[in-house]
């Protein structure tokens, strides 16, 4: 089924370029964001801007959400005049947020009660990848939901990877990936600090590693940020990184999986938040390594 009209809710650093990609694919797009000014570029490009969630959603249509956390997603979906009740029978809700698997399971069940479909479709990639339609998209949900969502996901990403029908599966994949990314950031931060204190140029080391034994996007892209120690503007805010690590630890506890490295990352992020760094890029956990080594005041 090719949907002629779509709603996109959540126009943050990731949501705005993702919504722009959907709009460029040729569908009639309605957008909603709590801060209306975030919708201005999309309005200029031809999107309709709604004044409320209820006004944004077409019964039986498609809604894509890209929201900051579980609480925001639950409120937008199940709150008064929320997505679930407004969407109703025949609708599809594609959630692209990084949220807990439990939240996805709960919302999938709520949509099913109303005769609508749910698809978990979190993404990997920073805002620049979203703008270039180069996101990696994970999905889990029913075959019907996947078939209907496919052209929209293809408009936003370079590939879609399927993880079955269980609604929370894609969220576990996303949390696992974010855990690995931040683990790599911490490892690079420690290695670069060691190099710097040993008289080796940080950028030379990051460049060498990214071109040789760690020749992959995570070490190349994050290595450049860490080498230059440029943590503003944030591609992904540190405070959101803490949210994700909390979700990882919650999922690990639920599955009785010890994750001692996740505990270390939680401590790094908590220290960073205590120092007022929540609005910096999450790579700013490097600053704690530098401080521990006497390289920062």
Please give the positions annotated as active site.
Answer: 174
Q: Say how many C-beta atoms besides its own lie within 10 A of residue 144's C-beta.
A: 12
Q: Which two tokens stand for residue 70?
A: 């579980």
Do residues 35 and 66 touch, judged by C-beta distance below 8 A? Answer: no
- At 2 the three-state DSSP class reads coil
Closest CA to 45 of 62, 23, 27: 23
259-284: b (≥16 Cβ within 10 Å) or e? beebeebbebbeebeeeebbebbbbb
In angstroms, what is the C-alpha Rg of the chain?
A: 20
- At 207 the three-state DSSP class reads helix
- At 251 the three-state DSSP class reads helix
Do residues 92 and 83 touch, judged by C-beta distance below 8 A? Answer: no
Do residues 93 and 118 touch, judged by C-beta distance below 8 A? Answer: yes
Q: Which two tokens stand for residue 15?
A: 């949501």
CA distance from start to end of the chain: 58
Counts of helices then strands in the chain (DSSP H, E) = 15, 9
* Strand segments (E) across 200-279: none
SS3 content of the chain, % helix, strand, coil (to 5): 55, 15, 30
């Amino acid at each position: 089924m090719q949907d002629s009209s779509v709603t996109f809710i959540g126009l943050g650093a990731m949501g705005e370029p993702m919504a722009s990609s959907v709009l460029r694919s040729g569908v009639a797009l309605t957008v909603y964001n709590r801060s209306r000014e975030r919708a201005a570029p999309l309005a200029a490009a031809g999107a309709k801007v709604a004044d409320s969630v209820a006004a944004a959603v077409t019964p039986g249509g498609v809604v894509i959400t890209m929201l900051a956390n579980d609480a925001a997603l639950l409120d937008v979906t199940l709150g008064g005049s929320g997505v679930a009740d407004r969407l109703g029978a025949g609708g599809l809700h594609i959630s692209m947020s990084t949220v807990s698997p439990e939240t996805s399971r709960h919302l999938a069940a709520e949509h099913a009660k109303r005769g609508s479909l749910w698809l978990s479709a979190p993404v990997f990639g920073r805002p620049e990848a979203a703008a270039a339609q180069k996101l990696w998209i994970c999905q889990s949900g029913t075959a019907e939901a996947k078939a209907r969502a496919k052209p929209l996901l293809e408009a936003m990403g370079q590939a879609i990877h399927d993880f079955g029908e269980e609604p929370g599966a894609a969220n576990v994949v996303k949390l696992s990936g974010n855990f690995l990314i931040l683990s790599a950031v911490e490892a690079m931060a420690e290695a670069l600090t060691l190099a710097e204190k040993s008289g080796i140029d940080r950028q030379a080391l990051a460049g060498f590693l990214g071109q040789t034994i760690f020749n992959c996007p995570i070490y190349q892209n994050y290595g450049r940020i860490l080498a230059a120690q440029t943590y503003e503007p944030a591609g992904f805010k540190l405070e959101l990184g803490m949210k994700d690590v909390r979700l990882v630890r919650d999922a690990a506890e639920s599955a009785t999986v010890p994750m001692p490295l996740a505990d270390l990352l939680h401590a790094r992020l908590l220290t960073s938040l205590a120092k007022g760094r929540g609005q910096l890029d999450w790579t700013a956990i490097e600053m704690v390594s530098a401080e521990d080594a006497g390289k920062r005041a």
